[in-house]
Structure 1
Amino acid sequence: MQNSELTDEELLSLLKNNDHAAFEHIYRRYWKSLFRQLYAKSGNVELAEELTQTIFVSIWERRTSLCVQHLPSYLDAAARFSFINHIRSIAKEIRYADAQKANENSTQEANSLNTLNVEEITSQLHQALNHLPKKTQEVFLMSRMEYQPIKKIAQALQLSEKAVEYHITKSLKTLRIALRDYLTIGAIFTFYHLYEVFSLI
């Protein structure tokens, strides 16, 4: 049987036995969707490519110890945490640079970051979500808060997968518009806080 005909479970089983061909097929099967997910989060082609490659390198390095029940869900979670960790890393660098500038009595840029009002951003998020149609809110929360795959959301809400994708796109577009005023000064720092805020919604 060709690798292209194997299920994810069969490919993962082969991968545990150091089958490089199985890894290459997993890579070809999921690279594009993983890249698109990371690009949607970052808006940066180079960063999305780098994080995608890092995830697959990690899969190969940990191939013998991987415990994966559902590969698409595993990759979705890996993309999410990879991006969050990247943002947190950058946020730490910003805070360190901010402290250094404060010690040197050069706080002009630091003050621009400190003016970001997290409570106001939280309020904007809540308002934007509350203005969405009920079905769109349900899809958004299941997708972005509960991390459920599109197929499961479609089954739970008795929608087509295309409809679920439409609601997700609609909700993200609405949130981007609602937060457009916060994506100028210290955008990366803001995104870090947004992930913390989203977890509280």
Structure 2
Amino acid sequence: MESFSDIQSFNLLFNEYHERFIRFAIGYVKDRQTAEDFVSEAFAVFWENRRLLSPDTRPPAYLMTIVKNKCLNYLQHQQVQQRVTEDLRDHSEWLLQTKISTLEACEPDFLFSGEIQKIIDSTLNQLPKKTRRIFLMSRVEGFSYSMIARKMDLSQKSIEYHISKALELLRESLKDFM
């Protein structure tokens, strides 16, 4: 059973440092709820381990170390997530560029022969209106993705998505010719 002085000392420590530690953590994690969780966990660890700590342990420094390490782990986890996201984006861009290069490498005389042109026209007509317009702006009119995005008031990712869908359908329609 804890003595009144242990609880009273803990409460004084909590009241003095709780908000300071939250502000410290927010400076790194940029999210109040996460910062509050880290500080609450630090105080809980301190309370649970208080009898195991050496007498010369300075509670504020002990608590700050826990909060610091939780913030550091959080940021390192975010860094890993960011790398994975970037790798996936890079792969997606590479895949899209490969699709574009494959289509660009086709011989124009062959690509625009009568039968193939009918398949292309038919496939483009199957596309949703917005996707078809975006694809034609890119491939026929020669607009960049960013220019199309500005003209159509969409994000560049949205333009990439529409182009990808159009190319996917074209590739499927033209698979016997590729």
TM-score (norm 1): 0.36
TM-score normalised to structure 2 length? 0.41
Structure with larger Rg: 2
